[in-house]
Amino acid sequence: MAEVHAFADSAHAAQSFAAAAGLTLRWVKEHRFPDGETLIRVEEASAEVFLFRSLHQPTAKIFEVLLAASALRDAGATSITLVAPYLGYMRQDTAFHPGEAVSQKVMGEVLARYVDRIVSIEPHLHRTRHFSMVFPGRRALAVSGASAIAASLGQALPGNTVVLGPDEESATLAEAVAAPMRLRWAVGAKVRHGDRAVTLQLPDSIDLKGRPALIVDDVISSGTTILAVADAARARSATAVEVACVHALFDEAAAREFHKAGIDRVRSGDGVPHVSNSIPLAPTLVDKLRQEGWL
């Protein structure tokens, strides 16, 4: 029988995942030495293990996941599936300037040495066509968060809501959120002038006058993109602006800016612990794993 082994910093999401999958949940134990090193200890493992940890703020966490995977292998696991609702270091898939490390390549090669399969929700891919290409010789599953957003918000949205994505990269997510609710959707044209400077224009064909807008995105970090979409929606006379994202990484300062911009509410998936969490992701993860025969 498979088991879930999880880190305490992903406790809520791991508990939800184990419950939805009907699997026993065990905890990875961590001890930190004064010099900053971490000792990882796991319980005796079954042959099949789902190792659960969301890899936001990833630098230290990734090495601890490798230690846990190694310990689980030594404890009897013959198949280890890393379940990382958020998987860091995916965006840098090429060297944009001379001398830059390609973090996606490094991350993929290292994880492929220690785990057999990788699952993530809306990994931050741009030019990588297939998630499995990141992990040499391993199977990988990229799960859409659209169904989780639609299921969570379906009864809460007025029928004349327009779903907005920031740019072409969000078109698939926006369409998939809107489709089950039979809502109109559109994406903007985004121009980024820096980490915190973005301008955005919505299509001329989108009429928001007298209609609420729901902005959807995979990840919200600095919040500048969301603010640009909200400003564009308000300029088109939207009656209300709400936001739904799969992963919330933004801080309190960004939340205050959202409030000042007239954003009524932000909802996020619960894979990354955040005050805005209200969209359960475990059912979507488990359904997809079952469809693929991984559970």
What residue ranges of the chain are covered by domains with CATH 3.40.50.2020?
3-143, 146-278
Tell me the average pLDDT across 252-262.
95
Q: What integer pLDDT is reported at residue 126 of this predicted model?
A: 76
Q: What integer pLDDT is reported at residue 18 of this predicted model?
A: 98
Question: Per-residue pLDDT tens for 181-233?
Answer: 999 999 998 666 666 666 788 988 888 999 999 999 999 999 998 999 999 99
The pTM assigned to this predicted structure is 0.93
CA gap 104, 126 in Å, rounded: 11
Where do we find the tokens 């492929």?
Answer: 112
Tell me the average pLDDT across 63-77.
97
Question: Per-residue pLDDT tens for 98-112?
Answer: 999 999 999 999 999
Q: What integer pLDDT is reported at residue 193 of this predicted model?
A: 64
For 140-144, 194-198, 201-205, 259-263, which range has the lowest pLDDT when averaged over its residues? 194-198
Q: What integer pLDDT is reported at residue 205 of this predicted model?
A: 87
CA gap 31, 33 in Å, rounded: 7
Average model confidence (pLDDT) across the chain: 94
Q: What integer pLDDT is reported at residue 128 of this predicted model?
A: 78
Q: What integer pLDDT is reported at residue 261 of this predicted model?
A: 93
Class of domain 146-278: alpha beta
Residue 146 and residue 173 in contact, taking contact as beta carbons nearer than 8 Å: yes
Tell me the average pLDDT across 160-189.
93
Q: What integer pLDDT is reported at residue 210 of this predicted model?
A: 94
Tell me the average pLDDT across 168-180.
93
Tell me the average pLDDT across 147-164.
92
Q: What integer pLDDT is reported at residue 149 of this predicted model?
A: 97
Which fold does the domain 3-143 belong to in CATH? Rossmann fold (3.40.50)
Q: What integer pLDDT is reported at residue 1 of this predicted model?
A: 85
Residue 165 and residue 177 in contact, taking contact as beta carbons nearer than 8 Å: no
Q: What integer pLDDT is reported at residue 124 of this predicted model?
A: 83
CA gap 22, 18 in Å, rounded: 6
Question: Per-residue pLDDT tens for 8-46?
Answer: 999 999 999 999 999 999 999 999 999 999 999 999 999
Q: What integer pLDDT is reported at residue 83 of this predicted model?
A: 98
